[in-house]
Structure 1
């Protein structure tokens, strides 16, 4: 797999995700190792320092799968809010892949079955921090 892009997350998101990862509900999640790898390489900022155009928790993001040209728009949520149309859990592989990326960045993402896709962020349609919501 190619070198992954740098990512940035808020200290609030980091604290909540780490708490989630230690919960009983997350223990059997297949995406835990990938999510931990993302957190380990993340640059952490205070919520008020998060720039617009960065995928944070509860952000709605538009992205493209470069090989097929397929466009998607998803809101990155915590597992208890997942399952709704247009949302993806942070514990899902694509959720952890999107966290912390900025508009224009790409990431290689392995789907079940071993196939690899390249996702590129086109737009962050809604970001809580850009809306002044620092304590979601």
Structure 2
């Protein structure tokens, strides 16, 4: 059983309305297959401050963002937050439907959050920087990242 969520100990997050709507639908469609992950995603969505897409701060993690972060278990990593069909960890693209992907959504540079890994261990994650990929053909261009 998962620990109860304490909103007071979590950082404020902001999500654009388009991401919110798409993520809420995604969570609903995966609810029976990945109940704990979708529960975590829905919890994050419920506590987020919603803003129009154009009002999102440039350093807020949204779908397609390239995020540099560090955890208590690893050195700095750079990953792009993507929808499940675009996930490819070997090329630096992580699904929103992973514990770390869900933890990242809505955070801004400098914020930290505690998240629970698939093995049940809790970790602390701190966002170092966030960049947004250029829009290409009405969608986000996925980037291959050098994880050097």
Q: Sort the TM-score into its range (normalised by shorter chain).
A: 0.7 to 0.9
- 1:31-79 Cα offsets, whole Å, 9 max, x none, are 11110110010000111001111100000000011x3451111100011
TM-score (norm 2): 0.79
Q: TM-score, normalised by structure 1?
A: 0.86
Corresponding pairs, count:
130
SS of the residue aligned with 1:22? helix
Greater RCO, 1 or 2 (C-alpha within 8 Å, sep 6+): 1
1:100 to 95, 103, 106: 106
CA distance in 1, matches of 2:58, 2:42: 24
Alignment gaps of 5+ in structure 2 = 140-148
Instruction: Please list, as runs of the form range in 1=range in 2, the aligned pairs for 1:32-111 lying within 5 A after superposition.
Output: 32-65=38-71, 67-68=72-73, 70-84=75-89, 85-111=91-117
Give the alignment's Cα RMSD to 1 decimal.
2.0
Is 1:28 the counterpart of 2:33? The answer is yes
CA change 1:45–1:20 in 2 (3 A) is: same
